[in-house]
Amino acid sequence: MKRKDNTGIVYICGAGPGDPKLLTVRAQELIKQAEVILYDRLIGKEIIELFPELTEKVYVGRNIGDPTTHQNYTNELMIKYAKMGKTVLRLKGGDPFIFGRGGEEAEILTENKIPFEIIPGITSGIGAAIYSGIPLTHRRYGSSVAFVTGHEDPEKKSPEVKWEKLFDAVDSVVIYMGTEKLEIIIEKIKKGLKSHNKPVAIVQNGTLKNQKIIRGNLDNIVLLAHQAKVTPPAIVIIGDIVNLNDKINWYNNG
């Protein structure tokens, strides 16, 4: 919906995977122009430092058990500020439409007749892969890639990820929010495969200065992740493309 005179507007905008240099030109403009910035847990310090001093800033990242950080609260704030006539920047990690609930936020704004625009961002799956020298497609090692969530809404009945069948359909898989249930996920994937030597990389803090890559295969990655004390945010990449990290690892991976 386009903006009419004197009404507020919400910009649902991706902030990219972390490195502030990966903000789009549009995101940078909006950071300067917005009257209110509603930002996520995934928005790091270096990006927060770019927020103008006088702009109203509201942290809306979710903290478990804290009702003020639930999605409904974010929705209410977006609507409240827009109805006050403000220019609202809803800044989200990565891309707003990749596991970011940007779709739900846009639906709510439509239902409430609030004007909005949506600005893509570099999703962390792509950012982390690039900064790890892992081409998500490659003429010899991967013709298809699937982006999958490792953390489905427990309330919903379907769609459910068919982990056992993923590799029947695609060469490579990028898992978001996958480290918490890594063991269960890897076990399910292994059930669908004869050989378990498929390469796996876990990229923690992708594109940031403290990016860390853990490499293994389906048989040993759970142990390696445990030993490395992997913490979110981290992306799990599975497929032969992961081996290209040997050759293309161009970024300091600490």
* Stretch in the footprint of ligand SAH (CB under 6 A) among 29-37, 112-120, 154-162, 228-236: 228-236
User: What three-state secondary structure class fits 110?
Assistant: helix
Q: Give CA torsion, residues 205, 209, 210, 211, to 10 deg.
A: 50
Contact of 142 with 240, CB cutoff 8 Å: yes
Q: How far is the CB of 46 from ligand SAH (least distance, A)?
A: 12
Angle between helices 102-111 and 71-83 (to 10 degrees): 40
* Stretch in the footprint of ligand SAH (CB under 6 A) among 60-68, 77-85, 103-111, 200-208: 200-208
Closest to ligand SAH by CB, 3 or 62: 62
Query: Does residue 205 belong to the site contacting ligand SAH (CB under 6 A)?
Result: yes
Strand partners, 190: none
Residue 134 has which token pair?
Answer: 């892992």
Query: Does residue 94 belong to the site contacting ligand SAH (CB under 6 A)?
Result: yes
Q: Find the residue with minimal CB distance to ligand SAH.
A: 94
Query: 51: which residues sit within 8 A by CB, 6+ positions away?
Result: 31, 37, 39, 57
Query: Does residue 233 belong to the site contacting ligand SAH (CB under 6 A)?
Result: yes
- Give me the 148-187 binding string for ligand SAH, x by CB under 6 A, dash otherwise: ----------------------------xx----------
Residue 2 has which token pair?
Answer: 């386009």
Residue 75: in which H helix or E strand, if any?
A: helix 71-83
CA 189/CA 62 separation, integer angstroms = 29
Closest to ligand SAH by CB, 8 or 23: 23
Q: How many helices (H) and strands (E) does the chain have?
A: 9, 10
* Stretch in the footprint of ligand SAH (CB under 6 A) among 58-66, 111-119, 199-207, 223-231: 199-207
- Give me the 126-145 binding string for ligand SAH, x by CB under 6 A, dash otherwise: --x-----------------
Q: Using CB under 6 A as the criterion, which residues of the chain lie in contact with ligand SAH when the complex forms?
A: 17-18, 42, 92-95, 98-100, 123-124, 128, 176-177, 203, 205-208, 232-235
